[in-house]
C-alpha cells in the first residue's frame, strides 16, 4: 500500500507538472529584464547607434531571423523565459504594448551600462538609469490595467522575477577605452569596482521602490577572454598579462557584486537577491572545454567586433563559444541560463538558484 501511494503521488506530481507546462502557465507571472547586449532583443533597432544587430547573419538560428539579438539564436533571457514556462519571448520595451506587458518587459540595450556615459562613442544606447525610467512607465500602465489599485499591482509585481545583467560595457566600452573615457585615470580597478557596485546598489534599490522583490543578478563573464579583447591584446609577450588585467578587474566587480547581494538581502525588507556566477559557470563546465573560444564564428568588423553585415558565418556553430567578437553563441547562453536556473554546483548561484527564487 505504501509503495502504491508513493507511485500515485509521483504520477500526480508529474501530471501536475506536465499540465502546467502544457497550459503554458509560467512559474512566475512576469519577467522583467535590465541589461546590455547580452540580453537586448530589439530595443536598439531604431536607435542611431553602432550597437545594433538587426541584420544577417545575426539570428541565423532564430525562428524570426535577425531581431536585434546579438547572437545566432536565442539569448540568455529567451532561454530563461522558456525554462520558467513562458510560452512567448519577453517583448522588448520598444515594441511592448497592451496586456502583453503583464508577462514582463525586456529593457536591455546594447551598449547600456551602469554609468550613463558608458559606450557614448557608439551613439545612442539606453543606460541603466534610463531603463529604470522606462520601467516606471510600464508600472504606471500596469497600475491602470489592474484597476488602479496600487495594492494589487504591488502584490503582482512582488511575485515577478527581475533579471539584471549589466556592467560589461562599463569595462570594455569605458574603463578599458582610455582614448574616450577618463575613468581608468581617475580610479584604480579596485576603486572602480566599488564605484560601479555602489551605483548599481542605488539602481537596484530604485527597482525595489517600484515594487520589485525577486532579483536575479548576473555577474560579468571573463571579458578579457572574448575574441575581440584577445585580439586587442595582441600576440606578443604581454598579451597574456593584458587579458589577465581585464579579467582581474572584472573579478573585483564580481566579488563586490556578490557582497552587495548579501547586503541587500539583509537591508531590504521582503526582498530576495541572488547572484549568478557567470565566470564560474563557464570556467567549470567540462561540456565547453574543447570548444573554439579564441575566435568568433562570424567574420567581424575591425571596429566594434560585430559581425560583418550579410557575411557567411561558420557552419559548425555548436562548436563555437563566441558568435562575434564579444557575444556568446546560443550554446554558451544555454549554459548561463541553464545553470543559473538550476545550479549544478554550489558556486553557480548565491545563496540559491533561480528555480528556488521562483518558488518564493
Catalytic positions, please? 37, 324, 327
Please give the Cα distance from 276 to 279 (Å, whole number). Answer: 9
Residues 242, 177: Cα–Cα separation, whole Å = 13
CA 214/CA 187 separation, integer angstroms = 32
Backbone dihedral region for residue 35 (phi beyond 0: left; psi -120 to 50: alpha; all else: beta): left
d(CA 105, CA 94): 9
Phi, psi (degrees; rounded to nearest 5) at 165: -135, 90
Distance CA 177, CA 184 (A): 8
β-pair type (349-350, 272-276): antiparallel
* Residue in the block written with cell 524570426: 64
Pair 103, 90: CB distance under 8 Å: yes
Q: How far apart are the first and last CA of the chain?
A: 34
d(CA 179, CA 188): 17
Amino acid at each position: 500500500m505504501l509503495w502504491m501511494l508513493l507511485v500515485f503521488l509521483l504520477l500526480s506530481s508529474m501530471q501536475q507538472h506536465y499540465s502546467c507546462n502544457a497550459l503554458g502557465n509560467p512559474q512566475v507571472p512576469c519577467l522583467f529584464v535590465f541589461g546590455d547586449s547580452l540580453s537586448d532583443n530589439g530595443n536598439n533597432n531604431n536607435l542611431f547607434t553602432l550597437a545594433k544587430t538587426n541584420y544577417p547573419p545575426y539570428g541565423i538560428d532564430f525562428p524570426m531571423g535577425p531581431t536585434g539579438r546579438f547572437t545566432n539564436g536565442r539569448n540568455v533571457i529567451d532561454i530563461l523565459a522558456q525554462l520558467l514556462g513562458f510560452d512567448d519571448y519577453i517583448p522588448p520595451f520598444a515594441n511592448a504594448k497592451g496586456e502583453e506587458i503583464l508577462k514582463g518587459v525586456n529593457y536591455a540595450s546594447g551598449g547600456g551600462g551602469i554609468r550613463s556615459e558608458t559606450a557614448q562613442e557608439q551613439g545612442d544606447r539606453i543606460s541603466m538609469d534610463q531603463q529604470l525610467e522606462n520601467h516606471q512607465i510600464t508600472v504606471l500602465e500596469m497600475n491602470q490595467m489592474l484597476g488602479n489599485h496600487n495594492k494589487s499591482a504591488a502584490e503582482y509585481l512582488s511575485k515577478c522575477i527581475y533579471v539584471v545583467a549589466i556592467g560589461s560595457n562599463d569595462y570594455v566600452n569605458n574603463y578599458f577605452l582610455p582614448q574616450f573615457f577618463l575613468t581608468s585615470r581617475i580610479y584604480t580597478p579596485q576603486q572602480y569596482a566599488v564605484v560601479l557596485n555602489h551605483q548599481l546598489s542605488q539602481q537596484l534599490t530604485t527597482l525595489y521602490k517600484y515594487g520589485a522583490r525577486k532579483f536575479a543578478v548576473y555577474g560579468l563573464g571573463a571579458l578579457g577572454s572574448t575574441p575581440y579583447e584577445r585580439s586587442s591584446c595582441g600576440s606578443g609577450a604581454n598579451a597574456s598579462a593584458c587579458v589577465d588585467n581585464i579579467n582581474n578587474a572584472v573579478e573585483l566587480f564580481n566579488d563586490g557584486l556578490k557582497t552587495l547581494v548579501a547586503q541587500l538581502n539583509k537591508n531590504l525588507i521582503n526582498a530576495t537577491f541572488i547572484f549568478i556566477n557567470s565566470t564560474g559557470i563557464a570556467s567549470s563546465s567540462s561540456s565547453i572545454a574543447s570548444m573554439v573560444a579564441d575566435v568568433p564564428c562570424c567574420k567581424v568588423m575591425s571596429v566594434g567586433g560585430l559581425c560583418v553585415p550579410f557575411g557567411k558565418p561558420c557552419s559548425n556553430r555548436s562548436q563555437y563559444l563566441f558568435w562575434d567578437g564579444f557575444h556568446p553563441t546560443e550554446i554558451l547562453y544555454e549554459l548561463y541560463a541553464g545553470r543559473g536556473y538550476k545550479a549544478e554546483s554550489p558556486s553557480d548561484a548565491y545563496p540559491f538558484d533561480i528555480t528556488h527564487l521562483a518558488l518564493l
